[in-house]
């Protein structure tokens, strides 16, 4: 039984943790979720650290930085620390940040946040249980929350002669 840590924030304006947990549950079985909520994104790294200490095999860190330039700095600092925590633990953290500036209007932002949290949760599941699913999509221009960009060149069917 694998363990997936899910950490989100009170600062976020969408309940990303619940969305991610649901998407994980719909992806498959063989794991249990340990969930934590912290005040803001800068508190995510040490919450992941604690979850790794308790046995998590992977953590999903979810947050919604605000609109100010300073919020981007905070996101950068949180991100850097998440990488350091993962390295210390020797286990991956899947980071899912949604910036308030990425969408116009509350509805669009909420939809984006929901779609991105679901996509990252599915990725987290694949990283633990189905790494070959990821390998099959190498270089395919996948996006999380927005429409996929797709590959720059269509792959030709094997033996097409082109």
Q: CB of residue 115 vs its own copies: minimum separation in angstroms?
A: 14
- Count of residues of this chain found to bind its own copies when the rule CB under 8 A is applied: 71
Site map 16..55 versus its own copies, x via CB under 8 A: xxx----------------xxxxxx-xx-xxx-x---x--
How many whole angstroms separate alpha carbon 106 and alpha carbon 112? 10
Asked if residue 86 lies in contact with residue 92, where contact means CB atoms within 8 angstroms, the answer is yes
Asked if residue 57 lies in contact with residue 20, where contact means CB atoms within 8 angstroms, the answer is no
Tokens of 155: 């792959």
Q: CB of residue 154 vs its own copies: minimum separation in angstroms?
A: 11
Residue with tokens 């002669």: 161
> Which residue from 108, 87, 109 is spatially nearest to 97, judged by alpha carbons?
109
Give the footprint of its own copies on residues 87-146 (CB under 8 A).
87-88, 90-95, 99, 106-107, 109-110, 113, 120, 123, 127, 131, 134-135, 137-144
Instruction: Single out the residue of 31, 79, 118, 125 in contact with its own copies (rule: CB under 8 A).
Output: 79
């Amino acid at each position: 039984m694998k363990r997936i840590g899910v950490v989100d924030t009170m600062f976020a304006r969408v309940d990303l943790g619940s969305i991610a947990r649901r998407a994980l549950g719909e992806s498959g079985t063989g794991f249990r979720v340990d969930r934590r909520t912290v005040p803001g994104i800068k508190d995510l790294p040490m919450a992941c650290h604690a979850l790794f200490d308790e046995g998590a095999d992977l953590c999903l860190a979810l947050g919604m930085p605000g609109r100010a330039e300073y919020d981007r700095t905070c996101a950068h600092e949180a991100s850097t620390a998440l990488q350091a925590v993962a390295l210390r633990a020797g286990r991956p953290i899947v980071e899912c940040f949604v910036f308030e500036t990425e969408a116009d209007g509350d509805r669009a932002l909420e939809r984006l946040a929901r779609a991105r949290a679901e996509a990252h949760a599915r990725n987290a599941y694949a990283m633990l249980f189905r790494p070959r699913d990821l390998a099959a999509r190498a270089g395919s221009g996948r996006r999380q929350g927005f429409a996929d960009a797709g590959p720059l060149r269509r792959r030709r069917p094997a033996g097409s002669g082109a």
